[in-house]
Amino acid sequence: MKLIDLIFHNALHIRHGAILGVAELIIGLSGNSVVHRQQVLDKAFRTLSLKERNLIKEETENQKKFGQFYGDLSRKNVLD
């Protein structure tokens, strides 16, 4: 697998990206991405001011489309 080979690359930024990529794949394939996403978002929201929270809550059409696409993709079982 190409991504795993890049974990041993000489350039630090490439190794770092490959490690993060593999980690994201493992989390996604385990089905835990949906479970933990809301907890992480709630924790991040608490660090924002009220004005910043209101700006983020204004959802655009592209955000709605991406949210639907990501939701469908993250619920898909790819391990069968």
Confidence (pTM): 0.41
Q: Are 17 and 7 in contact (CB under 8 A)?
A: no
Identify the band that residue 60 occupies on the pLDDT scale cut at 50, 70 and 90: confident
**17: containing domain:** 1-30
Q: How many residues does the chain have?
A: 80
Shared domain check, 44 and 22: no
Shared domain check, 46 and 14: no
Residue pLDDT, tens place only, 4-52: 899 999 999 999 989 988 888 887 787 666 667 778 878 888 898 888 8
Shared domain check, 61 and 41: yes
Shared domain check, 75 and 42: yes
Count of structural domains within the chain? 2
Shared domain check, 38 and 23: no
Shared domain check, 1 and 18: yes
Q: Are 67 and 21 in contact (CB under 8 A)?
A: no
Shared domain check, 79 and 49: yes
